[in-house]
Amino acid sequence: MEITSDAAPYDAQTSLTHLKQARRIAMLMAPRLGDSLLMMNMAYNLTTHGREVTVFGDYVHALRDWFPGMDVRPSLPEDKAGAVLSGDSSAGFDCAVQMHKGWPYSLHPHAPAYCYYDGHVVITGKDFIKLEQIRDFCRDEIGLACPGLDNGLRVPPKLQKRKHMRRVAIHPTSSSEQRCWAPRHFVELGLRLQRDGYDPYFILAPNERDDWNCLAESGLALLQAARLADVAAFIHESGWFIGNESGIGHLASNVGVPTLTVTGRPTRTRAWQPAWARSRIVYPGYIIGGRWRDQYWREWLFPGHVLYAFKRLMRDCAGDAKSLGAADNPPVPAPPSRPS
């Protein structure tokens, strides 16, 4: 397989050999929360197999206390990448890795050895889940002996998992308008959850809140949290999560909360769905293709459909608890020690 960057061809086999042989690895995260949490699976698997991994990414850095034992730093600006990633740098990285070619920037001008994950895999398709695909890539392509789905996130012990079982965290935005369900449907969903005895809380970034005055006008609660770590803590102690396809959905799953994702693109969303905790997706029963689907799915998917899927998610979790013979709170393994 060959992909091209701005000025240089990408040699997939050579890049993979670099990654297989590397002992010290720089991992550059895309400026997306979901992608960052997924790539932390690769970082953690490499670390538990004796590699030294330094992660550069603002989202993971905002959660650095939740990733004990991992070397997590802010995003690496491109104008400093050459000095940090070059073979002659004091850091001494053997290979630089990122999920997407060119995002956050092309690596070939800055690192003598580099690897793009999406140069070796199918990005979106049927019959796979991205988190499992990354784990399998660690085993089948990098050659790690026993990779798992863990990405190293550890919830602070002072927090209680799903403490508020009737609280539903709802995230109504995403990085793209095409991924966002209609605002009026989100409002109606919140009101119907209230009538059913639940406690819905909406999660919005500070810069998004002025566009969602409809929530306060309808008497719906909005989480007031400026830090990503505070959002993670709030979701961890909530019983459920509902939202668009977004990084916050991956965060909810990563902290152990069952998730329901609303979407108009079921094939893509199945592949990229949150996969650390129990998860479901819901979409309109009939979707035509192309621009019609992208334009109208957010209207054709009704709150009643989402509530029905939410109840199915609850039944799934009830079945899980019965099969385990205990509450949905399995023990979490301790983080690895840092390789010397």
The dihedral of CA 84, 86, 89, 92: what is its sign? positive
pLDDT of residue 320: 86
pLDDT of residue 319: 86
**pLDDT grade, residue 287 (50/70/90)?**
low
pLDDT of residue 293: 75
CA distance 99 to 15: 13
Has residue 324 got a pLDDT over 60? no
Residues 6 or more apart in contact with residue 200 via CB below 8 angstroms: 167, 168, 170, 189, 190, 193, 194, 220, 221
Please state the rounded mean pLDDT for residues 286-302. 79
CA distance 8 to 14: 14
136 φ, ψ to 5°?
-65, -35
pLDDT digits (tens, 9 = 90+) for 242-263: 999 999 999 999 999 999 999 9
Percent of the chain with pLDDT over 70: 89
Bridging pattern class, strands 238-244 and 9-11: unpaired
Query: Which residues are bridge partners to 164 per DSSP?
Result: 238
Residues 6 or more apart in contact with residue 41 via CB below 8 angstroms: 131, 134, 135, 138, 149, 150, 151
Distance separating the N- and C-terminal Cα atoms of the chain: 35
Residues recorded for the chain: 340
Please state the rounded mean pLDDT for residues 160-174. 97
Q: Tell me, what amino acid is at 141?
A: E
pLDDT of residue 227: 95
Q: Locate 158 and state its tokens.
A: 């002072």
**pLDDT grade, residue 4 (50/70/90)?**
very low
pLDDT digits (tens, 9 = 90+) for 213-237: 999 999 999 998 989 999 999 999 9
